Amino acid sequence: MSTKIDLEQEGVEVRKSVCYFCHQNCGCLVYVKDGKIIHFEGDLDYPTNSGGLCCRGNVNLIHLDHEARVNFPLKRKGERGAGEWERITWEQAIDEIGAKLEEIREKHGAEAVATAGGTSRTDDWARRRFMNLYGSPNGFHNSHLCWIPTFMIETAIYGWSPFEIDLGLSKCIVLWGQNPAISTLPEQAGISALKKNGLKVIVIDPRFTETAAKADLWIPVKPGTDLALALAWINTIIYEGLADYEFVYEHCVGFDELTEHIEQYTPEWAEPITGVSADLIREGARMYATSKPGNIQWGVAIDQIGKPAGAAMHARAILRAITGNLDCPGADLLTGPSQEFITDEEMELNDMLPEEQRKKQLGSDKYKLVTWPGYGRIAEITKKYWGKAPTAEWMCEAHPPSVYNAILTGDPYPVKALLVSATNPINSYGESKKVLAALEAVDFLVTCDYWLTPTAMLSDYVLPMAGSFERPTITSTYGCSDFLMCSQRAIQPMYERKTDFEFWRDLGIRLGQKEYWPWETLEDAYFDRIKDLGYGVENYDEFVEYFRFHFPEREYYKYKERGGFATPSGKVEIYSSVLEELGYPPLPSYIPPAENPIDHPELAKEYPLVLTTGAGIMPFHHSEHFNIKELRFLRHEPHMEINPETAEEYGIKDGDWVWIETKRGRIKQKAHVTEGIAPGVVFTERGWWYPERDLRAPELGGCLESNTNVLTSTADEHCDPISGTWANRGLLCKVYKADGSDGKEAN
């Protein structure tokens, strides 16, 4: 079937745009005529994807004008969740929302307004800028689950997070709870291309993933026990004399304390906890420590193991330090923030948030690292060293479960309004039933999204957002990288969609922040950020047209020129003074997962299986794209994974609908019986809801039926005391066949 389009015809303009269905931002060339897109494809010259587009990238045009998109500002008419909407103008929407926020600030204080975000998908500095000017410290994302605790622990220990890897010369990469073959496809391409150079790949994952299938070593750790594994690796490296002593003695503090502290954590000790044999633990440790230079890539699994998360990140950071795999060619780089362009943090106006408001940040009394106490301290240190601080939006957030609790209980103070942008909290935050209750309970709910998600359905206002090709994009790793990749808007937003930037700006202006929002368009704002880079361009579009990227010269061993690392002591703080200052253990000690059979034998009687919830799956992005038939067709039902031995024990056959139940509730997924997971361990897919069903309350698109976050725990005692991240991985569950009435197909 020919679909030939004449791209050479007159009036066709090629726009350098990106896909934004995940934060990989793959480069695209978009062919536009008379303001309409006639064709697009992956950009062969774009350095990360070189023409590649994943499943989602290919449906950009279907997404762009899908019938189910929200195209106009909607105001609720009937009951909450009744699905009756009135189309209003943007002016009316902004005016009414603004009025409501003013009223709340007067009656309850600015902190009674919170905003929820999700994965990095839009210009979050604008949201933070708005919140700072408005006066509320209660912005949050589920960033706790997604690298942010890792970033902050690592920054505390050696002054920045080495998310940029220098793979070209690397001899070993450890993919710790990461599945780039499915989650970050361009990265996987880089890894597999380098295998012929002798790059060794170690995958630490309870599941035999697509990535593990190609690895040199697969370490099937029991969910939630990564800390034990990391400690045993440190033990092996130190006690087998594999550490980089020169680096350790010259550039680190606390190695001797560590040596003593780590003695107890032998591979033999870790074996029963992790389910990994002591031999395999040693083999992995040796491979990493001796194949130098090497990298440990960040995966989000450890961010999500709850209680032991912070200590596990600390231990993982120590592994880099004691092997000297920091900031040298072929190892994990500490780029620091950009010295050249204006960073996200500088766009946020964090100084505008008064000290007394910072103190009110929900959860900051308990979880200090990614809230004002820890962020403030770390920002101070990095500013002194780098001149700049990490992005506050992401790195300094209200603790989400604490916000939902405050909505439900009014404790420690009432939260009256929630502005939701670029997230679907019912599906992605922990303990979905609680989240749902909070969304139902909150006085005022506004959602900015592409679709009527279950969350949007409960809202008072839903605002139509501009997507991938309808807005320009700057890609810079949550605003923390030293490089920029810039892309153009291909077309002006269709219908009455706007960018998030415009939403926050309009709302800000309505609330008297006019002087702080000088830019008319997002391009103007972006241009401000890059204009001093010295490319001699007149505007942002021109920069993209001619340069598109800014990659600074790579510098190694920055600590040598700069007189150390961005820490209080100027050294890599294995023994962390920042953590100590905040009241946390300065060295990582073993903390078991929130729920586990060793410490909770009673619980394990009822819930005998170890559970890990979620991981990226193709073709979906979290709870997105379930309504796009072209994608859904490839995976139309949710699947949980279970070992044949365990399945047999519970009378479960491949393809059966089963219930997976924890103390917090149960969900239904189909069984995928596989040898790719250990006996006794269960994995559930994340994101699932059924947009084809009735979207009105109480059905809400079946958003609890197969939603793995019904199972997770956000209880204070299950959260990581350092960062507050909650427990998605390493829980206890039971599994049983769904029978008769409830066994019918989920759709």
Binding site for ligand SF4 (CB under 6 A): 19, 21-22, 24-26, 49, 53-54, 56-57, 185
474: which strand partners?
A: 486
Which is closer to Mo ion, CB of 119 or CB of 211? 119
Contact status: 360 vs ligand MGD (CB under 6 A)? no
CA dist 465 → 347, 497, 499, 519, 710 (Å) = 21, 5, 6, 19, 28
Contact status: 55 vs other proteins (CB under 8 A)? yes
Which is closer to other proteins, CB of 133 or CB of 448? 448
In the complex, minimum distance from the CB of residue 642 to ligand MGD, in angstroms, rounded to a whole number: 13
**R_g of the chain computed on alpha carbons:** 25
Q: Which of residues 213-232 bind ligand MGD (CB under 6 A)?
A: 221, 223-224, 226
| Largest pairwise CA distance in the chain | 74
Contact status: 146 vs Mo ion (CB under 5 A)? yes
In the complex, minimum distance from the CB of residue 194 to ligand SF4, in angstroms, rounded to a whole number: 17
Half-sphere exposure of 657 (CA within 13 A, CB side): 16
Q: Which of residues 453-472 bind ligand MGD (CB under 6 A)?
A: 453, 465
Which is closer to ligand MGD, CB of 163 or CB of 540? 163
Instruction: Tell me the site size for ligand MGD, rule CB under 6 A.
Output: 62
Contact status: 450 vs ligand MGD (CB under 6 A)? yes
Which is closer to other proteins, CB of 165 or CB of 328? 165
Binding mask 637-666 for other proteins (x = CB under 8 A): x-----x-----------x-----------
Q: Write phi, then psi, for 297 (nearest 5 degrees).
A: -85, 150
Instruction: Tell me the site size for Mo ion, rule CB under 5 A.
Output: 2
Q: Which of residues 545-604 bind ligand MGD (CB under 6 A)?
A: none
Give the chain's count of helices (H) and strands (E): 29, 27
In the complex, minimum distance from the CB of residue 189 to other proteins, in angstroms, rounded to a whole number: 5
Exposed, middle or buried by CB within 10 Å (0-12, 13-18, 19+), for 745?
exposed
- Per-residue tokens: 323: 């092997």
Contact status: 82 vs other proteins (CB under 8 A)? no
- Per-residue tokens: 333: 């780089």
Binding mask 475-504 for ligand MGD (x = CB under 6 A): -------------------------x----
One-letter amino acid identity for 679? P
Pick from 120, 170, 137, 174: nearest CA to 479: 120
Choose the stretch contacting ligand MGD; rule: CB under 6 A; options: 27-35, 277-285, 293-301, 543-551: 293-301
Choose the stretch contacting ligand MGD; rule: CB under 6 A; options: 258-266, 325-333, 448-456, 664-672: 448-456
d(CA 701, CA 688): 10
Instruction: Answer whether 94's CB lies under 8 Å from 448's CB.
Output: no
Contact status: 70 vs other proteins (CB under 8 A)? yes
Residue number closest to ligand MGD, CB atom: 118
Instruction: Tell me the site size for other proteins, rule CB under 8 A.
Output: 73
Q: Which of residues 87-106 bind other proteins (CB under 8 A)?
A: 87
Which is closer to other proteins, CB of 279 or CB of 524? 279
In the complex, minimum distance from the CB of residue 119 to ligand MGD, in angstroms, rounded to a whole number: 3
CA dist 423 → 16, 102, 128, 141 (Å) = 26, 24, 16, 8
d(CA 115, CA 136): 9
Classify each residue of 630-647 as buried b or exposed e, where b means 16 or more C-beta atoms within 10 Å of its C-beta. Answer: ebbeebebbbbbbbeebb
Half-sphere exposure of 504 (CA within 13 A, CB side): 28
Binder of residue 146, out of ligand SF4, Mo ion, other proteins, none (CB less than 5 to 8 A by kind): Mo ion
Reported for 25-28, long-range contacts at CB under 8 A and 24+ positions apart, including other chains, are 25/473, 25/475, 25/485, 25/487, 26/52, 26/53, 26/54, 26/57, 26/186, 27/485, 27/487, 28/53, 28/57, 28/60, 28/468, 28/469
Binding mask 347-386 for other proteins (x = CB under 8 A): ----------------------------------------
Which is closer to ligand MGD, CB of 554 or CB of 629? 629
Which is closer to other proteins, CB of 2 or CB of 741? 2
Classify each residue of 592-617 as buried b or exposed e, where b means 16 or more C-beta atoms within 10 Å of its C-beta. Answer: bbbbbbeeeeebbeebbbbbbbbbbb
Contact status: 423 vs Mo ion (CB under 5 A)? no
Pick from 147, 99, 723, 6: nearest CA to 402: 723
Instruction: Answer whether 41's CB lies under 8 Å from 56's CB.
Output: no
Contact status: 119 vs Mo ion (CB under 5 A)? yes
Contact status: 513 vs Mo ion (CB under 5 A)? no
Binding mask 35-54 for other proteins (x = CB under 8 A): ------xx-x----xxxxxx
Binder of residue 25, out of other proteins, ligand MGD, ligand SF4, none (CB less than 5 to 8 A by kind): ligand SF4
d(CA 309, CA 239): 25
Contact status: 618 vs ligand MGD (CB under 6 A)? yes
d(CA 677, CA 662): 19
Among 424, 432, 487, 596, binds ligand MGD (CB under 6 A): 424
In the complex, minimum distance from the CB of residue 256 to Mo ion, in angstroms, rounded to a whole number: 37
d(CA 515, CA 513): 6
Polymer length in residues for the chain: 747
Contact status: 734 vs ligand MGD (CB under 6 A)? no
Q: Which of residues 176-205 bind other proteins (CB under 8 A)?
A: 181-182, 185-186, 188-189, 192-193
Residue number closest to Mo ion, CB atom: 146
3-state SS, 433-453, equals HHHHHHHHHCCEEEEEECECC
Contact status: 447 vs Mo ion (CB under 5 A)? no
Which is closer to ligand MGD, CB of 567 or CB of 646? 646
3-state SS, 180-239, equals HHHHCHHHHHHHHHHHHHCCEEEEECCECCCCHHHCCEEECCCCCCHHHHHHHHHHHHHH
d(CA 278, CA 284): 10
Residues within the interface to ligand MGD (CB under 6 A):
22, 118-119, 121-122, 142, 145-146, 176-179, 182-184, 204-207, 209, 221, 223-224, 226, 299-301, 304-305, 421-424, 427-428, 448-451, 453, 465, 500, 612-618, 620-624, 686-687, 708-709, 712, 728-730
| Residues engaged in binding Mo ion (CB under 5 A) | 119, 146
